Chain A
Amino acid sequence: MRRPLHEPLVELDHPADVSGWRQSARRLLIEGVPPEAVTWSVRARGERVAGTDGLVSGGAGTADLFGAAPIESEPATLCPVPAPRVPKAFGGLCERVVCHRDPQRFAVLYRVLWRLQQGEPRLLDNAADDDVFALHRWDRAVARDRHKMHAFVRFRATPGVVPEHFSAWFEPDHHILRLTSGFFRRRFASMHFSIYTPEASVHWDTEQLRFGPAATRAVVDRPDAMEALWREYYASIFNPARLKLDAMRAEMPVKYWKNLPEAPLIAALSREAGRRTEHMVEAAATEAPRFARAAGLSGRAGLQGADAPAGGAFQGEVEGAGFSEADRHAALKNRRPRADVSS
């Protein structure tokens, strides 16, 4: 779809199409098209071509194939467009900001690029400028969203598949699947995995990164047996004597909870925290266990008695004599604080 120069409409391949934006912006700049004359849009999902279904190897996006120049002029190949002079930080800023869901992002980026060429080379340093302020705000939002995705994606092993395959469902706030895919590829290079989002999906088979269509949560609805252990860990590492729910919610907002296997525990752990703490404070001091008494250790009896332990009886305990399977099971039954409070 080509438009005449006097009413430039740029249609990008996908919502985070930074290569398409960059290429169009360069051409517009060369043509001298002012920011207020340009309309930026993203091709509707159904029409999307090379954007999300193609193979992508390494870091090079298919969007570099944005050869169908959106503006009526010579094809890009015959007239290579020189890169405009921009501060070094601008490139990275563009890559992140295009991922923001605000529809104005492409226009503001182009306006800043325009102003950088039009006598404001130090514009980016001015954090108080309206446009720069907007870019910084979007940049922070995308950086946070990316960081939370790195943190809160939870893979589930698909049962009975060889080689082992891991899948995750995640709902980012912004268009960050591509931005984050490199992180997962570098981290889990030897693992087969898929990450599905409401907008697109990404798949790694230890050799190639492939972008695919959107999905729903149902694609990853079979729980992983490891989640029981993870929940046990989550419950056990929590210190009920220092309940700070606001601090937790600030870092792990409620919107993420529905995809975190540990989140269903939060309500009960919080509810019971006060009683567990009271119980610890009120509990009377108990007699030291046998191995410690035998070694001459007794914290509550007095500090002066605590010389270096001779070892003897204690080592016997550690090496198994006093720590049987039955003890372990008894331990499990009796010690769980959650068991204490739920009775």
Chain B
Amino acid sequence: MSTTVPSLPVRLQGKLAILADAAKYDASCSSSAAERRDSVDGRGMGSTEGSGICHSYAPDGRCISLLKVLLTNFCTYDCLYCVNRSSSNVQRARFSIDEVVELTLSFYARNYIEGLFLSSGIIRDADYTMEQIVEVARRLREVHDFRGYIHLKTIPEADGELLARAGRYADRLSINVELARASSLAHLAPQKDADGIQRSMADIRRAREASRDRSHAGSRAPRFASAGQSTQMIVGADAADDGELLSCSQSMYEQHDLKRVYYSAFSPIPDAPGALPLKPVDAMREHRLYQADWLMRFYGFEVDEIVAGGENGMLDSALDPKLAWALKHRDRFPVDVNTADRELLLRVPGLGSRGVDRVIASRGVSPLRLDDLKRIAGSVARMKPFVIARDWNPGARLDAVGLRAQLLGKRAQLDLFG
């Protein structure tokens, strides 16, 4: 096993600075959902135990779980929102395949990372670039028996055989859809093809399904991206509203069986082109989209319902989307926590899915009072107007005109002291 980089060339440090800087606009750093494995019977190192691990946090609050770098930030594409577009004057660099392999192993051995997230600018052509990316993963897996996490960015235009090989070595594959509107993509990223991106996602889904099937003889197909696929959308680079973004996500979750959609609020990039908004998009917009995405996936909400909680296709930035929805649908409340079914409990503001599980288990032992809810959920500030407990009925509070303002006041206080 090779864990040291001999003599650490300064050159390598310079490349790392450029090629990590170039990769930071990809929000994903997830190392979760991989099959369970370890290095006990291997030559190399590495394990994945289901949930990912964030080994550090940058001052931007983002988790650092993987060594997230570009193989090169040279790119023939000219996507206007991208710091690495061909017309940008950022400094360029290119790692050799072994440099990425050595960095990954050296960082991993010191417990800095869970693995590698490798992407690249498009050099020469799609196939050549994809081949280089796949070769890094192949060497990690086959030469070094590396069993940590590997996430590869795939290039939609690349050959299907390369995609199959990528899926064999990687835990996760991703292709960024970038923009919800195909017309915006055509406008801002002229070399990208919205239909091609969708086709590639469908290919990955099919390959994943095929890898899970056993043949009639019972032999197993080779593994393929066991941690699934994800994608990323830029928020605020065009005029698409929250409803459009969420609808796009929902259709991708359904059609391509995505594990995650990442939302990346457009933020200023060095050497930005004139055609883009230069000011950062409100980070709260991104936050609300993530909350809405969660409601869609785990709480049984439809996009239309979530968007109806806000105004004109945009989510309410002052309130979390579940609370915003509840305030506009007060006729569905109060919900009796001692009798309501799971589906209904999931709609109660301030009650998460684990909280719902505990409510259901606890009320079977003895009827719940407001104090019990406080213990189960941590706080009842948001929940109180919407629930009935053994010793609590919100009565007219639920219909009070000032309820929104009151909850906003409470939120502000919570934010201040929480």
Contacts and interface: CB of A to CB of B under 8 A. Distances in A.
Interface of A: 122-123, 125-129, 133, 147, 150-157, 164, 166, 168, 183, 185-191, 224-226, 228-230, 232-248, 251-252, 260, 262, 266, 269-270, 273, 277, 280-281, 283, 285-289, 291-293, 295, 297-300, 303, 306-309, 311, 314-315, 317-318, 323, 325, 328-329, 331-332, 334-337
A320 to B, nearest CB: 9
Contacts of B358: 127
A308 to B, nearest CB: 6
Contacts of B41: 189
A314 B76 CA distance: 7
Contact of B88 (A183, A224, A238, A299): A299
Tell me which of B55, B60, B275 has the highest count of chain A C-beta atoms within 10 A of its own C-beta. Answer: B60
Leading 5 A-B pairs by shortest Cβ distance = A247-B61, A244-B61, A128-B372, A331-B91, A186-B38
A293 B124 CA distance: 17
Interface string B39-60: 1111111110100011111111
A125 B365 contact: yes
A289 B89 contact: yes
B279 A270 contact: no
B1 A190 contact: yes
Nearest to B78: A297
Contacts of B8: 225-226, 228-229
A126 B3 contact: no
A293 B89 CA distance: 11
A298 to B, nearest CB: 5
Interface in B4-62: 4-5, 8, 11-18, 20-21, 23-25, 38-47, 49, 53-62
Interface of B: 1, 3-5, 8, 11-18, 20-21, 23-25, 38-47, 49, 53-64, 67-68, 72, 74, 76-78, 80, 85-94, 103, 106-107, 109-112, 123-124, 187-188, 190-191, 265, 267-275, 278-280, 283, 358, 361-362, 364-366, 368-369, 371-372, 375-376
A283 B272 CA distance: 8
A187 B47 contact: yes
Contact of A331 (B55, B63, B93): B93
Given A126-B366, A187-B38, A308-B191, A331 B18 contact: yes
Contact of B59 (A226, A236, A238): A238
Nearest to B68: A237
Contact of A230 (B45, B107, B375): B107
Given A252-B56, A303-B187, 5 more contacts: A128-B362, A186-B39, A233-B16, A248-B58, A281-B268
A151 B55 contact: yes
Nearest to A256: B56
Contact of B78 (A292, A328, A329): A292
A237 B93 contact: no
B272 A280 contact: yes
A189 B91 contact: no
Contacts of A252: 56-57
B298 to A, nearest CB: 20
A283 B74 contact: no
25 contacts: A123-B365, A125-B364, A127-B376, A128-B362, A150-B53, A151-B54, A166-B110, A187-B39, A226-B110, A228-B13, A230-B107, A233-B20, A242-B265, A242-B283, A251-B54, A251-B63, A280-B272, A285-B271, A297-B86, A298-B87, A303-B80, A309-B78, A328-B14, A329-B14, A332-B14
Given A280-B272, A331-B14, A191 B76 contact: no
Contacts of A150: 53
Nearest to A248: B57
Given A292-B86, A331-B91, A239 B272 contact: no
Contacts of A240: 60
Contacts of B87: 288-289, 292-293, 297-300
Given A164-B3, A237-B23, A242-B267, A291 B86 contact: yes
A250 B43 CA distance: 37
A157 B18 contact: no
B47 A166 contact: no
Given A125-B364, A273-B59, A237 B14 contact: no
Contacts of B38: 186-187, 189
B418 to A, nearest CB: 10
B271 A283 contact: yes
B191 to A, nearest CB: 6
Given A233-B67, A237-B23, A299-B275, A128 B375 contact: yes
B80 A299 contact: yes
Contacts of A157: 3-4, 109-110
A50 B133 CA distance: 51
A328 B21 CA distance: 15
B285 to A, nearest CB: 12
A307 B190 contact: yes
B57 A154 contact: no
Contacts of B376: 127-128
Contacts of B16: 229, 232-233, 236
Contacts of A187: 38-39, 45-47
A87 to B, nearest CB: 11
B121 to A, nearest CB: 9
A238 B58 contact: yes
A147 B59 CA distance: 20
A133 to B, nearest CB: 5
Contacts of A129: 365
Nearest to B27: A239
A236 B17 CA distance: 5
A191 B105 CA distance: 12
B43 A226 contact: no
